Structure 1
Amino acid sequence: MPPPAPLLDGDRTVNHTPQKPAPAAPGGTRETARVLSGLREAALSGLRPPPAAHPLIGESWMRVLRLGLDPDRGAPARLLPLDELEHRRRTSPLAAVLPTLREGLVSVADAARHIMVVTDADGRVLWRDGNARVRLEADRIGLEPGSSWAEESVGTNGIGTALVTGRPVRVHSAEHFVRSHHSWTCAAAPLHDPRDGRLLGVVDVSGPAATVHPATARLVASVARLGESELRERHLETIERLRAVAAPLLCRLGGARAVAIDRSGWTAAVTGMPPPGRLALPENFGTGSRRIPALGPCTVEPLPDGWLIRLDEVCPPGPGDAPPVTGVALDLRRPGRPTLTVTGGTGDWTQPLSPRHAEMLYALARRPAGRSAAQLAADLFGDPSRTVTVRAEMSRLRRTLAGVLDHRPYRFADGVDVRLLAPDHPGDLLPRSTAPLVVAARRAEDGPAPSRPPRPGS
């Protein structure tokens, strides 16, 4: 099948808590902008964000201040080369749901003098559509295909802040960190891969601040959920196709233990053993003799969109179990992208973590003696009665991380060396988390904020 034609700028072929609106002022939009500007100036002057600033915005201002970004101009704009932009468009899973996003947002954005923007997980603008005049105005502030709208490039904004927090975000007028963006408003929502929870990118609606509508943020969040639902349906269709291919092959194995999985480790069909659920696959997984943490030594063969895994019936000398895990590294240094690296007799393997699993492993790393289900529920939810949720999530984690976790109480297994790689600044710890334990750790940043970067010419 020939590759799809490039999707060009303007081509129309294709349980998060909502953020409260910016503080309103009696004088309307202009007065609200003045109030927000005052809050921003207070933060830039070295004060912590005043209580009137929304916590998502105030925390973002603090992160950007620590980066030393110029509050008047941001970082120099560097567009992706055209070939790199086209490559990212072709390989982005969001290309498949672009028609759904456009159908839900472009007509509304166009009528409201706004534009719709879709970025990848790095904050690079892949597609842009909507009002033609507003697209020209967006070019002047660098909101164009190939540009970076991550927080480290342009400060607090709907796209970059949604990428960091993993939550829908509305940024209005002077809530933007960079002064040249104060005439704009934006509402953005992240999109995640339903197969593994990986952040895929952000859909955003932006336009002149004077045309803001309070319902835009909820509309964007709703359309993002529709996009994720379509991705989930496509994944289920892939699993069904893989099952149809794998079932006859498994029937011919004569009762040998084997499982067919998709590229993300989800089980499509199984024989001779209980269904393992989703498997954590080591990096650089491929055909040949392999050792999978949850299964042990295996032989892997390719299938369309997946793998056929045969468990080795004859194991090397010893009890036949996988060599013991000797160490784990919980890496929380990249906001929004926690990972766990496991070290053992089979070598190292790394896997991304969902926000919830990152919180749970952080709690266990902070409490080496272990935590009961009630204690973990208090750490994560502030409610020790939510033990059913904790036990279900820990059961999933223990199946995925064979040999890493123990229970009664929940803890890292004996003999496992645990390294917690935390951000340089406490305020950057799991920024999307609302778990009481994590929030308390982030508050360790209390104190004077870094001094304001000098203005050019000052």
Structure 2
Amino acid sequence: MTQLPAPSPQRAELEKAWARWATAMGRAQGELVLRHEVVESWERSLRTVDPARAVAPATDRDELGARWADSPLRNPVTELSGELRSITEDAGMVAVVTDDEGTVLFSCGDRSVRQRAEQVNLAPGGCWDEPYMGTSGVALSLHTGRPATVWAAEHLVEALHGWVCYCAPIRAADGRQLGVLDLSTYWDRSHPLILTTVRALVAAIESRLRSESSHPTDRTRLECLGVPRLYKEGKQLPMRPRQLEILALLALEPEGFTPERLHEAIYGDRSVSSSTLKADVSRLRRATDGRIADRRYMLVEPLACDAVELLSALEAGDLTTAVRLYRGPLLPDSDVPGIVQWREHLDVCLRTAVLADRNPDHALRFGQRCPDDIEVHEHALHLLARGDSRRALAAARLHTALRS
């Protein structure tokens, strides 16, 4: 990384250089303050980008949902979302992950910084490759395939002059560039060590990608939202409801259970022999190739589970992914105390987030899974513009819910 001079004088010099470029729309001869890679990026960007642009173009929401659902980055980024959120909230930054075309798929971070970032659409759906938003850390990393820092008026677009972004490409096990991780903050909070943090986070993501690619057919997946299913090597396994209940609890609570606590979570106050629980766990252990520990009931390695992914998405503030994952309540036919408690927790978290959100797409999609929820349908109807044809759908759902 290039060592930057003292912030205030450097920013002033960059602003002067940017102003000369913006006025002349050409290269300023003898300009020393600009880095060579920045100059080249400006020259490429000026063919398609107006430096006065105020906000990044947006991707269609349906397309964005499909991109994130199909992205190989979704699982490793979701698994690391807690760490990303902790780092960015503590440091006053925003983290974004893009695909290989510069479209933001995921974001999290300090609330006030995220709100400022959303004003320029540094948020899911924003297009940040060079042809769309000019010189930025994301654009340079995508173009060069190397880590990059773009600071203050090194950004071509004037609306970004208050920012600094630290980026590094994310690569698959076969070397393909899958996207970019970016940590951004205000220009006066810049520090060279931030790029070191980005590199470490990218290494963690790439490690998870390699782990997934090294066991492509050994992936076991539990789906317990709506219709419960357990898949192994792409095939559905026949499982008893009790086994799915136990497995769901173990997936949602990775720290595990003592035998007594799991017995209570499954049977409550009912008088059931401990040998019954041991037998169920034993059968489940065989079905999952020994993934369950003996003395303390817990998964010895993470299990892909839609309920866990939903919880992680909510914790990361990724409501688009959370709503997409929600196919119905957690094991809806179960009356097991532990499952009932988790079911209510997930439903309340997601419903509260949807009702607090201003995106009608989230209310419509969640409303599809909650046909009797009058407040959700009213919320969708309130958010949809008068000329939006989807108002008819929301109105029909509300009418049905009111009559039921």
Q: TM-score, normalised by structure 2?
A: 0.50
The CA deviation at 1:214 is 2.0
Distance 1:48 1:157 in 2: 22
More strand by share: 1
Is 1:108 equivalent to 2:87 in the alignment? yes
What is the total number of aligned residue pairs between the two structures? 218
CA contact (8 A) 1:173 1:183 kept: yes
Match in the other structure for 2:8: 30
State the Cα distance separating 1:39 from its structure 2 match.
Answer: 3.0
Task: Tell me the SS of whatever aligns to 1:39.
Answer: helix
Q: Which runs of 4+ in 1 moved over 4 A?
A: none
Question: Offset at 1:102?
Answer: 2.9
Alignment RMSD (CA, Å): 2.4
SS at match of 2:107: strand
Give 1:155-170 correspondences, 5 Å limit. Answer: 155-170=134-149
Q: In the alignment, what sits opposite 1:152?
A: 131
Q: Report the AA paired with residue 50 of structure 1.
A: E
- Tell me, what secondary structure is at the counterpart of 2:128? coil
Q: Which amino acid aligns with 1:63?
A: R
2:33 maps to a residue whose letter is A
Match of 1:304 in 2: none
Out of 62, 67, 88, the position equivalent to 2:43 is: 62
Cα offset, 1:219, TM superposition: 0.9
**Structure 1 residue 126: Cα displacement:** 0.8
Question: Does the aligned pair in 1 maintain the 2:68–2:74 contact within 8 Å?
Answer: yes
Structure 2 Cα separation of the partners of residues 152 and 68 of structure 1? 6
Give, in angstroms, the shift of residue 68 of structure 1.
4.1
Q: Of 43, 50, 53, which aligns to 1:73?
A: 53
- Of 195, 217, 223, 2:195 maps to 217
Distance 1:100 1:35 in 2: 41
Deviation of the 1:82 alpha carbon: 2.0
Q: For 1:63 and 1:77, locate their aligned partners in 2 and report how far apart those are by CA, in whole Å.
A: 17
Distance 1:174 1:77, change over 3 A: closer
Contact 2:151 2:163 in 1 (8 A): yes
CA contact (8 A) 2:57 2:121 kept: no
Given the alignment of the two structures, is residue 207 of structure 1 paired with residue 185 of structure 2, yes or no? yes
The runs of 5 or more residues in structure 1 that have no matched partner are: 1-18, 246-458
Aligned-partner Cα distance in 1 for 2:42–2:90: 31
Deviations 1:126-169 (A, max 9, x none): 11101111111111112121110111111111112211111111
For residues 210 and 156 of structure 2, the distance between their equivalents in structure 1, rounded to whole angstroms, comes to 35
Give the aligned partner of residue 337 of structure 1.
Answer: none
CA distance in 1, matches of 2:30, 2:118: 31
Deviations 1:398-417, CA, capped at 9 Å, x for gaps: xxxxxxxxxxxxxxxxxxxx
Match of 2:106 in 1: 127
Task: Return the letter of the residue paired with 1:71.
Answer: P
Where does residue 366 of structure 2 map in the other structure?
A: none
Alpha-carbon distance change, 120 to 48 in structure 1, aligned in 2, over 3 angstroms: farther
- Structure 1 pair 207/191, CA: closer, same or farther in 2 (3 Å)? same
| Aligned: 1:226 with 2:204 | yes
CA distance in 2, matches of 1:222, 1:49: 37
TM-score normalised to the size of structure 1? Answer: 0.45
- Partner residue, 1:301: none
Name the amino acid aligned to 2:169: P
1:233-284 Cα deviation digits (max 9, x unpaired): 221122788xxx9xxxxxxxxxxxxxxxxxxxxxxxxxxxxxxxxxxxxxxx
One-letter amino acid of the counterpart of residue 3, structure 2: P
DSSP 3-state at the match of 2:73: helix
Separation (CA, whole Å) in 2 of partners of 1:169 and 1:213? 13
Matched residues in 2 for 1:218 and 1:72: separation?
A: 32
Cα distance in 2 between the residues matched to 1:166 and 1:100:
24
Corresponding residue number in structure 1 for 2:3 = 21
- 1:238 is paired with a residue whose SS is coil
Name the SS for the 2:185 alignment partner. Answer: strand
1:118 maps to 2:97: yes
**3-state DSSP of counterpart to 1:93:** coil
Aligned residue identity for 2:190: V
**Kept after mapping to 2: 8 A contact 1:104/1:223:** no
* Counterpart secondary structure, 2:41: helix
Q: Distance in 1 between matches of 2:87 and 2:162?
A: 20
1:251-266, aligned counterparts within 5 Å?
Answer: none
CA distance in structure 1 between the partners assigned to 2:79 and 2:32 by the alignment: 38
**1:77 offset after TM fit, Å?**
4.3
Report deviation, 1:207. 1.6
1:51 Cα offset (Å): 3.6
- Residue 103 of structure 1, CA deviation: 4.4
Distance in 1, matches of 2:80 and 2:36, equals: 28
Say if 1:43 and 1:49, in contact at 8 Å, map to a contact too: no
Alignment CA distance shift 1:181-1:54 (3 Å):
same
